[in-house]
Amino acid sequence: MPFGTVKRNYLRFKRFGFFTYCIYVYRCIIRYRIKDFNTFQLFFDSKIGLELGGPSGAFTEKGFAPVYPIAKQIDNCNFSSQTLWEGTIRKENGFVFNPQKAPGNQYIAEAGELHFLQDASYDFVISSHCIEHLANPLKGLSEWKRVLKTDGFLLLVVPHKDGTFDHLRSVTTLEHLIRDFQQNTPESDLTHLDEILQCHDYAEEEMSQKDFRERGQRNLESRCLHHHVFDVRASIDMVNVAGFQIHKVESFMPFHIVILAQKKPDQTPIDNAPFRENAQNKFWKSPFPSDNRVPT
């Protein structure tokens, strides 16, 4: 729940300032839908897709990107049959994305190791607040791109550092993400653990530092660590280097970055330069303070 304790909200008020904190509270209370959703819902309407992680409230009828109600079928992939978020996941039950439709297939596998799925087998791929839990995000995106049909769409939701317990950490550089991809960094990697333990805002976490450390050391089981930290620019750069054509970027409180991108035909150039400019252009504006600071 985004509100939490009085202490946590006081600390957020100090961190954001009065105006931005009011936006934060408003977005926590008021149902929101990403801008222009009706114009691109045809990319999901009556189509077959794959979700990594989830199920996510973002994609429900009341969510900010309601894909579940309009898709024909959505399959799902989770890293384990037992997660802290979903409890026990039974493959034989399928993936219930919409109670009024037949369940999709439920897969248990790493998000970056989808070898059991054929190339170009899905019209769309969706994922919300999953990619930060991957030790190798570009490997994940390369697999998600592989299973997409040509001209298929990726709808990616990434947590913005300013609105989470990561706000004291530095944004992960693109060079670091590329290095993880080139070195085929495995999901067992704990490279970031010391940094996380040092910079994690424990006021945002309802557990002791000792318990947090112990859980982090068992991250291959729990997957609770955020290996990587994103702002809007870092998210755009990651999707760009993965080879997707970006069509939409939107960020909003309390901690969401939404990117809609497309897999283009091989040898077709992509141009994401307009989205890689500063936050005050017409393609995206951010309510998060760190996105609007002038680089020094």
In the chain, where the domains are located: 31-266
Residue 198 in tokens: 């040092």
What is the pLDDT, as a whole number, of residue 204? Answer: 72
CB atoms within 10 A of CB 139: 23
Residues contacting 40, CB < 8 A, separation 6+: 153, 247, 248, 260
Share of the chain above pLDDT 90, in %: 77
| Residue-wise pLDDT tens digits, 19-44 | 677 877 776 777 889 999 999 999 99
Q: Which residues pair with 75 in a beta bridge?
A: 50
Q: 209-243: per-residue pLDDT in tens?
A: 899 999 999 999 999 999 999 999 999 999 999 99
Residue 107: beta bridge partners?
Answer: 77
Q: Looking at the domain that runs over 31-266, which CATH code has it been given?
A: 3.40.50.150
Using an 8 Å Cβ cutoff, are 122 and 145 in contact? no
Please enumerate in sequence order all residues whose Cβ is within 8 A of that of 136, keeping only pairs 6 or more positions apart, or say none: 112, 180, 181, 184, 185, 186, 187, 189
Would you state the pLDDT for residue 60?
A: 96
- Cβ atoms within 10 A of the Cβ of 256, count? 22
Q: How confident is the model at residue 203 (pLDDT cuts 50, 70, 90)?
A: confident
Tens of pLDDT, residue by residue over 257-275, are 999 999 999 989 999 999 9
Assess whether the previous peptide bond of 55 is cis (omega < 30° from 0): yes
Q: What is the CA radius of gyration of the chain?
A: 19
Output the pLDDT for position 1: 40
